[in-house]
Each structure stands twice: as structure tokens, then as C-alpha cells.
Amino acid sequence: MPIITIQVVKGVVLTTPEQKRELLKKMTDTFISVVGDVARPYTYCILQEVPAMEWSIAGVPLPDLPFLYGPEYAEMHKKSNELMRSFVESQTKNPPAKTSGGDSAPSGDSRKRAQDAWESG
């Protein structure tokens, strides 16, 4: 039985019962468009509303809107994007070794390199 779970901050994104019903219907319809109508009677779609300030981004409880559009969060994004870009570029220059089955083997030190890059800022 498929279960589709949608989590939102209560009262921030979905503010009316009509929006919630429409989202539940459209999510179910989209899923059924991929797997087929045979699954419709068994497809659950659950909307979970998390109370404000009981979840966070980067350790900051939401919805702290000034944080989300402020310089601290923007700098976190910028730094993360630069690190990811650098890591992706390093992988294209030095791709992971192949296993005997032809799959890429995870680089033993790629996680360490990413963590070192993050910490050195």
C-alpha cells in the first residue's frame, strides 16, 4: 500500500481546508498517473501539519522568516553551493574508480575531503 506523506508548517503554507483537499487529491492523482489506477484504492495521502517552531532549517526554528531571507542563511547557501560546485568539478577531473562489476566505487576519502573543505571555510 503506497503512502504519500506531505509535511508543512501549520498555518504557513496551506491555510484553508480547500487548499488541503486540493493538494491531497492532486498528489494522489499524480501518483496514480505514474503507477496506474489499480493502486488508487490502496493509496494513502497524509498531510502532517507540524506546529510552528517545532522544526528547523540549519538549527533555526521555523518559521523564522527574517532568518530565511537574511544574510546569515544566504551566506550558508553561498558557502554550501561553492563547496558542492568544487566537489562536483573535482569528481569530473578525478572520477571514482570502477568496481569489478562496473559500478563506481565510493571514494574512501571523498566525505573527509568535503568535511575538511566545509570546516576550512
Amino acid 41: pLDDT: 95
pLDDT (tens digit per residue) in 63-100: 677 777 788 888 988 988 898 888 888 887 766 666 56
pLDDT (tens digit per residue) in 10-39: 888 888 999 999 999 999 999 999 999 999
**Mean pLDDT in residue range 95-109:** 59
Q: Per-residue pLDDT for 113 more than 80? A: no
Helix or strand (DSSP H, E) at 26: helix 17-35
Encode 51-81 in three state secondary structure.
Answer: CCCCCEECCEECCCHHHHHCHHHHHHHHHHH
Predicted structure pTM score: 0.55
Three-class SS of residue 50? Answer: strand
Return the closest-CA partner of residue 20 out of 46, 40, 1. 46
Q: Are strands 44-50 and 3-9 parallel, antiparallel or unpaired?
A: parallel
